[in-house]
Amino acid sequence: MELKLLCVGDVVGTPGRQVLREGLEALIPAHGIDCVIVNAENAASGSGLTASLYKKIIASGANLLTLGDHVYRRRDIIPVLETETNICRPANLPLSAPGKSFAIYETPPGVRVAVLTVLGRLFMKTVADCPFAAVERMLSKIPSDVKIV
């Protein structure tokens, strides 16, 4: 089965969210996209993501969201990270960190897609495990019927 994915890089601030909203509205139906993955790391004024912006990005057509080193910059995102299954924090943060290490979405054709993200460690102030080891750990935790992106 062919699966059409759209991966959108760093959405930054109001201009990025506007382009995302307008772009997805046209792109999804025009290309029959099954799953939209968005890096929302800097969606809130260029640093982090808020709970209300999470809802707006999902409403614009995004299915899966990833975050990066600014994951906890906006504290009101923590309950979203802990309850929603379509958003994930970097998988190589400490296991005790709030949020999920990967996110899963079931596409309209019924294919389940998983996404994960990791932080590099060069020039980073964030304490992160080896990204390669984290990916290896996560691969064993994602159900075998899920396609990994």
Tokens in use for 131? 């990204």
Catalytic annotation, pick one of 17, 70, 74, 89: 70
70 is catalytic: yes
Concatenated DSSP letters of 19-64: HHHHHHHHHHHHHT-SEEEEE-TBTTTTS---HHHHHHHHHTT--E
Tell me which residue of 64, 84, 39, 66 sits closest to 147, measured CA to CA: 64
Residues labelled catalytic: 70
